[in-house]
Structure 1
Amino acid sequence: MVSCFWGFRQKRKTVERPRPLTLPLDRSTSSIAPGQDRLDSLKSWSVLLDCQISGHGSGEVKEETEGAIAGGAQPEWVADMSELFIGNRFASGSNSRIYRGIYKQRAVAVKMVRVPDNEDGSRPLIDSQFNSEVALLSRLRHPNVIEFIAAYRKPPVYCIITEYMSQGTLRMYLHKKEPYSLSNKMILKFALDISRGMQYLHAQGIVHRDLKSNNLLLNDELTVKVVDFGISCLDTQCHATKGFMGTYRWMAPEMIRGKTYTKKVDVYSFGIVLWELLTALVPFQGMTPVQAAFAVSEKNERPHIPDACSPEISNLIRQCWTADPAKRPDFDFIVALLEQYEEHHSNDVPLIPQLQSSKRL
């Protein structure tokens, strides 16, 4: 039987130190000469920030930087920009770009958030999400949650520095696989990593609100870690929150309908992610995100679970994505169930072997 790791060889790559980001200090200087000392290149990093703002002295920068990391972060977590080197960009969003970097001799990911002018009214929201993400990340310590290292703010450019996850997102990993080809062992490993991370977050009173395969990263050891806390909230605050947050294909029906919701929205999303692990497919493939949201909230539709799936796993998926949040299990139950299942099903074969040869739609 073909292993689920066909065509995939795990390699440990020596981290190549990226060149520091450099900008000319004036029009007559196009680059930093090789013989210049490190301090000059770090001044160039300051130029990147300084060229975006006006009227801010160094005292104001320090005050704003520390003030931006409110809600629990400590002053020692403010990034020392003289220790930060920026490499290549490897991901981007509507208001952010993510770069490889070196911070204090360690490989890191650097999320740069550009806060636009307040003309379109989006700056307060982005500013709030940045502050919330840093405040939450700075208090979290768990092997299945991304490690926060430092943060820095100098409007309109903000940055968050975290550990670097070399193997990318879980969605990228699954996309390279044939449908239904993941072994039982790998499905359980990934599912336990995710559920343990979420168990920890819920124990800390944090609701993620955007759990999906694109917000789950893998390192060299294929350990999965939960990332992206930009729209997360405290459980006590989410009780009074209405409206939807997150991504339609993974979004719980009560959130789609704009109803009040609880941490059980994360359990629903976990059910979708577990289905992804089982099939390696995109949920609601063939539908637009809006069509998927309508199907879930108005027709109570869910992705099809293959009949050959293990009854324990298929039952867990159905419990997680049931329409009634009160009937969804919590992550304590999910972790315990998966650990028990792992003890009795440790064989390294596909969970649905007869469907291993199916073609990706």
Structure 2
Amino acid sequence: MKNLYWFKEISNNVRSGRRLSLGEYKRAVSWSKYLISSGAAIKGEAEQEWSADLSQLFIGSKFASGRHSRIYRGIYKHMDVAIKLVSQPEEDEDLAVSLEQQFTSEVNLLFRLRHPNIITFVAACKKPPVFCIITEYLAGGSLRKYLIQEGPHSVPHNVVLKLALDIARGMQYLHSQGILHRDLKSENLLLGEDLSAKVADFGISCLESQTGSAKGFTGTYRWMAPEMIKEKRHTKKVDVYSFAIVLWELLTGLTPFDNMTPEQAAYAATHKSMWHAYHTPLLIKARHLIDNIILPKAIHFYIKLYNIQDSNERPPLPCECPRAFSHLINRCWSSNPDKRPHFDEIVAILESYSEALEEDPQFLTTYKPRPNNLILRCLPKCNTTANVSASTKP
């Protein structure tokens, strides 16, 4: 708490224009000395464009952390920011190289993105063995945190629609730039004070031209599309699948496949009731390995060995789920990527929902999907044509 009070004082001082005392200044920038002294100067024209001025950077309290990163609240050039510090492990050279490549990729992608529903990039600092990414600070925290605070099945449907539309618009823009997120989930979606949603955390994002197969276990199993779990070549449609899981989270407030381990969730997403369909000793042994020893490689081995086909094993939709949402979710998490809509269509659908909801508060529950069969769509037109022809006969 002491650090938080100090940070608030520093924040108010900077905004009011009062000059910091020598003690305040030393405390604020002491952490950055390690960055300055531990690596060579930033090289390259591209890096110079996004290089942070450390003399303008003040750090506050830590509010989140990951396996290789810590996130602090801070101030950069009189702006509230979030500061992500990524540390390279000295004992694992391969991991250090991977983290550096991931950092560079994330910064280069963030640097080119400008959209109301994408986290705003501010600056970065590359000083091995510590890297720093500075983005805008969003006071609402993550969508996952918001859902936990609200409780299961507590988010009003109009708020669900608003948040879903924000996320879809952000993803529509991202895909228009040829970028795949590949780790879309509630933890990577941030909320502003006005409850606007922004897509964040582009650590494993990539250009569509760089996708190939999904080797390397990128993403998070509970939100991961079946084709990525099976290490198949993937497209933008993997983000559409993840969006369906996020929409399910918004409606339920729950964690997908919360009664399973991540590895079991991966199996469930790629085949329905697989353990009941196959009882070979080999698969029973594989289940034991997954449940008790956590061997992710077994997932891919058995999927390929038995040529397991995708099915519709998905988190259960609640009975009270509005038809409009359930219809869209079922399309988005289809096992066949080609049957999933693009985000252009998803945005258009959600916008039409929003307009209809303003006219009819019961729209989401009374919604009836249009028939997908092209012949059925033509029937009314054909009947009308037939009636016109009949009426014109002498």
TM-score, length basis structure 2: 0.74
* AA partner of residue 167 (structure 2): I
User: How many residues are matched?
Assistant: 312
Change (3 A) 1:344 1:240: same
Of stretches 167-176 and 296-305 in structure 1, the one that deviates more from structure 2 is: 296-305
SS of the residue aligned with 1:214?
Answer: helix
Superimposed CA distance per residue, residues 32-88 of structure 1 (whole angstroms, 9 cap, x where no aligned partner): xx952776456634423256x3xx5xxx3132xxx4xx8xx5624210000000000
Amino acid at match of 1:47: K
- Deviations 1:241-300 (CA, angstroms, capped at 9, x unpaired): 545311111000110111111110000000000011111111112111111111111323
**Residue equivalent to 2:41:** 61
Taking the TM superposition and a 5 Å limit, the aligned residue runs for 1:83-122 are 83-117=56-90, 119=92, 121-122=94-95
Q: What is the 5 A alignment of 1:246-257? A: 246-257=219-230
Deviation digits for residues 218-256 of structure 1 (CA, Å, limit 9, x no counterpart): 011111000000100001111455453111110001101
Give 1:270-349 correspondences, 5 Å limit: 270-299=243-272, 300=311, 301-346=313-358
Residue 22 of structure 2: SS of its match in structure 1? coil
State the secondary structure of the residue aligned to 1:62.
Answer: coil
When Rg is computed on C-alpha atoms for both structures, the one with the higher figure is 2
**2:353–2:364: 8 Å Cα contact kept in structure 1?**
no
Q: Which amino acid aligns with 2:353?
A: Y
Is 2:132 aligned against 1:159?
yes
Q: For residues 102-142 of structure 1, what are the alpha-carbon distances to aligned partners after superposition, in whole Å with 9 as ceiling and x for unaligned? A: 00011100000001125352011101100000000000000
Which position in structure 2 is the counterpart of 1:231? 204
- In structure 2, distance between residues paired with 1:245 and 1:338: 29
Q: Call closer, same or farther: CA 1:38–1:171 in 2, change over 3 Å.
A: closer
Once residues 213 and 268 of structure 2 are traced to their aligned partners in structure 1, the CA distance between those partners, rounded to angstroms, is 26
**Equivalent in the alignment of 1:221:** 194
Q: 210, 228, 252: which is aligned to 2:183?
A: 210
CA deviations over 1:19-43 (Å, ceiling 9, x no partner)? 8xxxxxxxxxxxxxx9527764566
Which residue type is aligned with residue 322 of structure 1?
A: S
Query: Does the alignment pair 1:125 with 2:98?
Result: yes
Unaligned residue ranges in structure 2 (runs of 5+): 1-6, 12-19, 273-310, 366-394
- What CA deviation, in whole Å up to 9, does each residue of 1:147-183 have, x standing for no partner? 0000001110100000001011001101112322221
CA drift of 1:344 comes to 1.3
8 Å contact kept, 2:140–2:192 = yes
Q: Does 1:81 align with 2:54?
A: yes
SS in structure 1 opposite 2:141?
A: coil
Distance 2:261 2:363 in 1: 30
**For the Cα contact (< 8 Å) 1:91–1:98, is it kept in 2?**
yes
Report the 3-state secondary structure (helix = DSSP H, G, I; strand = E; otherwise coil) of the residue aligned with 1:122: helix
Q: Is the 8 A contact 2:155 2:250 kept in 1?
A: yes
**Does the CA-based 8 Å contact 1:207-1:263 persist in structure 2?**
yes
Deviation at 1:313, TM superposition (A): 1.1
Aligned equivalent of 1:189: 162
> Match of 1:281, SS?
coil
The change in CA–CA distance for 1:46 and 1:283 in structure 2 (over 3 A counts) is closer
How far apart, in 2, do the equivalents of 1:228 and 1:170 lie?
A: 13
Taking the TM superposition and a 5 Å limit, the aligned residue runs for 1:237-248 are: 237-239=210-212, 241-248=214-221
- Give TM-score scaled by structure 1 length: 0.81
| Paired residue type of 1:159 | C
| C-alpha contact 2:89 2:96 (8 A) present in aligned 1 | yes
More helix by share: 2
CA distance in 1, matches of 2:152, 2:90: 45
8 A contact 2:325–2:364 mirrored in 1: no
Question: Residue 139 of structure 1 corresponds to which residue in structure 2?
Answer: 112
Distance across 1 between alignment mates of 2:160 and 2:77: 35
Tell me the residue number matched to 2:16.
none
